[in-house]
């Protein structure tokens, strides 16, 4: 079976506090990550030049830097001295057209990875999306080792980033971890009865940021693709690799938070079809 990850062969560069730059820091994920990560790492928060509102909101959490994804030379300058780039910037609309995706998600991602390599960064954590594999049928749980299957052009652009990331890791020596992010939402959304549609792809703010932080801290991986969803009873994306390789331990179960699903107690009432079921017996017990 083809692996969705590869391990480093060079010596570890373990460090407890790293220099971390976040692109797209003014977005929802970037803003939440900045508040959470500021006590763990030395943050540089990249926003577009002239974004005074973002500067005011984010300045308490790290050093503000300014660059456009289209400006490769500027990215090389702001990446200088950075250990890990968390690349969140880009066109986020799943309905976006090619013209919108080309510059932000194709050219911009290329510039980020090239600039990170040129600046001798250790790692890029790339914000991919569930849309890179949303072309699979709804009843299929997708493993990170299975082929990409985008459900829209936005997903295609994320597949490009994953492929470029693997090339940069395996051929150019820049470690890359791609995170296929599900429906990133606050807990208030999970607790809204009308949000059942995201039951199998929900990822809470705390869970996703925990996964990002574990990917920053890891020293063993050269490349990996992980799935960024919470630990709900039913998951569209399998999270086994992230659990095993970086110790991802999500705490949120959408089915326990949503008022329409919580009374069903799905964790308890859905059969496991193994010895976890209280009423299932095993002949082995008679021989012990």
Examine the pLDDT at 13 and tell me if it is beyond 70.
no
Condensed to tens digits (0 to 9), the pLDDT of residues 227-283 reads: 999 999 999 999 999 999 999 999 999 999 999 999 999 988 898 888 888 888 877
- Are 5 and 224 in contact by the 8 Å Cβ rule? The answer is yes
CATH fold for the domain made of 5-261: Rossmann fold (3.40.50)
pLDDT at position 1 over 50: no
246's tokens: 């970086």
pLDDT (0 to 100) of residue 106: 98
Taking only the tens place, the pLDDT of each residue in 97-128 is 999 999 999 999 999 999 999 999 999 999 99
- What is the structure's pLDDT at 55? 95
Q: Residue 14: pLDDT above 70? A: no
Distance in Å from the first CA to the final CA of the chain: 37
Is the confidence at residue 92, as pLDDT, over 60?
yes
> Which sequence spans correspond to the domains of the chain?
5-261
* Residue percentage of the chain with pLDDT more than 90: 87
**115 burial type by CB count under 10 A (0-12 exposed, 13-18 middle, 19+ buried):** buried
Q: Report the pLDDT averaged over residues 36-63.
A: 96
pLDDT of residue 62: 97
Write the secondary structure of 2-62 as one string of H (helix), E (strand) and C (coil): CCCEEECCCCCCCCCCCEEEEECCCCHHHHHHHHHHCCCCEEEEEECCCCHHHHHHHHHHC
The tens digit of pLDDT for each residue in 145-177 reads: 999 999 999 999 999 999 999 999 999 999 999
Q: For residues 239 and 219, is the Cβ–Cβ distance under 8 A?
A: no
**How far are the Cα atoms of 67, 116, 130 from residue 73, in angstroms, in the given order?**
9, 11, 31
Q: Which are the contacts of 88, defined by CB distance < 8 A and separation ≥ 6?
A: 22, 23, 24, 25, 27, 29, 30, 33, 127
Looking at every residue in the chain, the average pLDDT score rounds to: 95
Burial label for 8, CB within 10 Å (0-12, 13-18, 19+), is: middle
The whole-model pTM stands at 0.94
Higher pLDDT, 198 or 280: 198
Helix/strand/coil (H/E/C) assignment for every residue in the chain: CCCCEEECCCCCCCCCCCEEEEECCCCHHHHHHHHHHCCCCEEEEEECCCCHHHHHHHHHHCEEEECCCCCHHHHHHHHCCCCEEEECCCCCCCCCCHHHHHHHHHHHHHHHHHHHHHCCCCEEEEEEEHHHCCCCCCCCCECCCCCCCCCCHHHHHHHHHHHHHHHHHHHHCCEEEEEEECEEECHHHHCCHHHHHHCCCEEEHHHHHHHHHHHHHCCCEEEEEEEECCCCCCCCECCHHHHHHHCCCCCCCHHHHCCCCHHHCHHHHCCCCCCCCCCCCCHHHHHC
């Amino acid at each position: 079976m083809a692996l969705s990850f590869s391990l480093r062969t060079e010596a570890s560069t373990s460090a407890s506090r790293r220099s971390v730059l976040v692109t797209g820091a003014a977005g929802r994920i970037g803003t939440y990550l900045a508040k959470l990560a500021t006590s763990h790492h030395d943050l540089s928060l990249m926003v577009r030049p002239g974004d005074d509102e973002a500067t005011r909101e984010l300045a308490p959490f790290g050093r503000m830097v300014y660059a456009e994804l289209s400006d490769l030379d500027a990215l090389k300058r702001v990446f200088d001295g950075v250990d890990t780039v968390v690349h969140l910037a880009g066109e986020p609309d799943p309905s976006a057209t090619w013209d919108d995706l080309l510059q932000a998600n194709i050219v911009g991602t290329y510039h980020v990875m090239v600039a990170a390599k040129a600046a001798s960064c250790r790692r890029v954590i790339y914000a991919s999306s569930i849309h890179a594999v949303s072309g699979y049928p709804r009843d299929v749980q997708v493993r990170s080792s299975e082929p990409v299957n985008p459900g829209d052009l936005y997903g295609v652009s994320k597949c490009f980033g994953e492929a470029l990331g693997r090339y940069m890791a395996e051929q150019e020596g820049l470690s890359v971890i791609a995170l296929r992010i599900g429906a990133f939402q606050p807990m208030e959304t999970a607790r809204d009865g009308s949000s059942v549609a995201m039951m199998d792809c929900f990822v809470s703010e705390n869970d996703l940021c925990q996964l990002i932080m574990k990917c920053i801290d890891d020293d063993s991986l050269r490349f990996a693709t992980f799935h960024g969803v919470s630990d709900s009873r039913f998951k569209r994306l399998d999270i086994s690799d992230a659990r095993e390789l970086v110790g991802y331990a999500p705490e949120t179960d959408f089915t326990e938070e949503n008022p329409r699903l919580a009374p069903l107690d799905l964790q308890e009432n859905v059969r496991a079809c193994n010895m976890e079921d209280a009423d299932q017996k095993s002949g082995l017990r008679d021989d012990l």
